[in-house]
Amino acid sequence: MTQTYRPRRSVLYIPASNDKALAKLPSLACDAVIIDLEDAVAPADKIAAREKLAGIFADRPDRRCEMVIRVNALSSEWGADDLLAAAKCEPDGILLPKVGTPRDILEAGDVLDDNFVPDEVKLWAMIETPKALLNIGAIAELGRDPASRLDCFVPGTNDLVKETGILATPDRRYLVPWLMQMVLAARAGGLDILDGVFNDFRDADALARECAEAAAMGFDGKSLIHPAQIEAANRAFAPSAEAVAEARAVKDAFSRTENAGKGVIALNGKMVERLHLAQAEKLLAKAAAVGA
């Protein structure tokens, strides 16, 4: 069975107000970028940043790199106009900040529908408020309804720290339970989910550790703030050579005539079930997509 996989290992925020950073777009090896109108843009620059969107999308690189726009919260003075301006660019996704309830997604979706924005323009949701965490199951459930356009969760870990008063520690011990809850909800809703950003962009070793941890936690990739972070994320969220070899062995074993129709077999002294075959096929599709 062929499975499609759209890599989102490395997703870089680029402030729409930063021309030098935007100029880097064609040379970046990330799977996706988020052109930001929200937290990375000062209030005085908000409107000028919005006005740049059309030009940024007109010069869209040919290379396959998803392009997402983060608008300001729809409850803010910029949100409604941001959403319309973003929709006109027909990006791969529009990232909604400060989501609290399923209604926030549905209302944004209604605006897109009313403006005849193609269904291919998806909605991504920042999970960064206590309310979003409390409603995470209901929000994620929208992923089961394609009409909602919901496609991806992005934890806003800096906002969560700010809103809850937890201590941000290097091992993220107070954040991890909430992050795991988000991963669980994303899977229940069939959504992708990225890990939050790593602020200390000069610390490559700590970033590599956090990326490896995020991959083990089940995230599809990591949201990033600096180009120097791309390579570590691409590496950490791609299947390792050992995992690929193991997946091939499982696939080969099930394709042998003597195993045809069997639900469970022994492979190198381990029990392997058909569910492992499905898992192996998924991993091989992912490896093929990223050249691992």
Binding span for ligand COA by CB under 6 A among 35-43, 99-107, 108-116, 278-286? 35-43
Between β-strands 270-273 and 264-267, what pairing exists: parallel, antiparallel or unpaired? antiparallel
Is 18 or 259 the residue whose CB approaches ligand COA more closely? 18
- Tell me the two tokens of residue 60: 């869209």
φ, ψ of residue 179 to 5 degrees: the values are: -65, -40
Residues in region 94-133 near Mg ion by CB under 5 A: 128
- Residue choice 13, 178, 219, 237 for contact with ligand COA (CB under 6 A): 13
Q: Which stretch binds ligand COA (CB under 6 A): 14-22, 141-149, 208-216, 246-254?
A: 14-22
196 binds, among ligand COA, Mg ion, none (CB under 5 to 8 A by kind): none
Q: Quote the crossing angle between the two packed helices 46-58 and 79-88, to the nearest 10°.
A: 10
**Block residue for tokens 């909605």:** 123
159 binds, among Mg ion, ligand COA, none (CB under 5 to 8 A by kind): Mg ion
Site for ligand COA in 196-225 (CB under 6 A): 197, 225
Q: Does 36 bind ligand COA (CB under 6 A)?
A: yes
Give the relative orientation of helices 79-88 and 102-114 as an angle to the nearest 10 degrees: 50
User: Rg of the chain's alpha carbons, rounded to an integer?
Assistant: 20
Least gap, CB of 264 to ligand COA (angstroms):
46
Rule CB under 6 A: say whether 103 interacts with ligand COA. Answer: no
126 binds ligand COA per the rule CB under 6 A: no
Q: Which stretch binds Mg ion (CB under 5 A): 140-148, 149-157, 207-215, 257-265?
A: 149-157
Task: Report the C-alpha dihedral over residues 21, 26, 29, 30, rounded to 10 degrees.
Answer: 60
CA-wise closest residue to 7 among 227, 283, 252, 247: 283
Q: Which of 82, 92, 159, 220 binds Mg ion (CB under 5 A)?
A: 159
Question: Kindly report the CA angle at 84 between 83 and 88, in degrees rounded to 5?
Answer: 115
